[in-house]
Amino acid sequence: MNWRTIKTLLLVGVVAFFAFFLLFYGNSENGTPDDEASDFVIKMADYPEIGDTVFSTEEITQRPTLIVGWTTGCGACVEQIEYYKEHYDEISEQINILAVNLITSEESEEKVENFVDQANLPFPVVADHGNKLVDNFPFRFIPANFLFDADGRVIESREGKVDLETLQKWLDSV
């Protein structure tokens, strides 16, 4: 092999490494964000609530809490919210659910309120006016699901939809 071929192969290898790294860096499906989250999770109860479901900080400090970041304009998000509603009785036996609407990404707050009212969700929905979820737990795709333990630490997360089997695996690892 000549020197030019070696340099080309080396360059291709470095580019491939960085492409792989960038593609999977921050993919929380395979990892757990290492954040001090307890203050953030507890402060979620201070967010403006949408709908009639009441939420308290006591609830999230007694057992694991699933927080899902979503918008009404995201089809997968709406499906995820409806999935959690459909399976709420089963899920709520083990964990709390809190839906955090990324309100700054919405057409209007009224659209979100209408969705929540019509959906008649059994779990609380809060509006994240200040993008705190995104600021504290960077993610690229929604829905963004974060499972916190009772101490407020992120123990599992996934960008994209989560099913009951995945939730159970997460809970089994606690």
Of 19-23, 29-33, 45-49, 92-96, highest mean pLDDT: 92-96
Model confidence over 85-114: pLDDT tens digits? 999 999 999 999 999 999 888 888 899 999
Structural contact between residues 152 and 41, judged by C-beta atoms closer than 8 angstroms? yes
3-state secondary structure the chain: CCHHHHHHHHHHHHHHHHHHHHHHCCCCCCCCCCCCCHHHHHHHHHCCEECCCCCCHHHHHHCCEEEEEECCCCHHHHHHHHHHHHCHHHHCCCCEEEEEECHHHCCCHHHHHHHHHHHCCCCCEEECCCCHHHHHCCCCCCCEEEEECCCCCEEEEEECCCCHHHHHHHHHCC
Model confidence over 5-15: pLDDT tens digits? 554 544 443 34
pLDDT cut 70: percent of the chain above it: 64
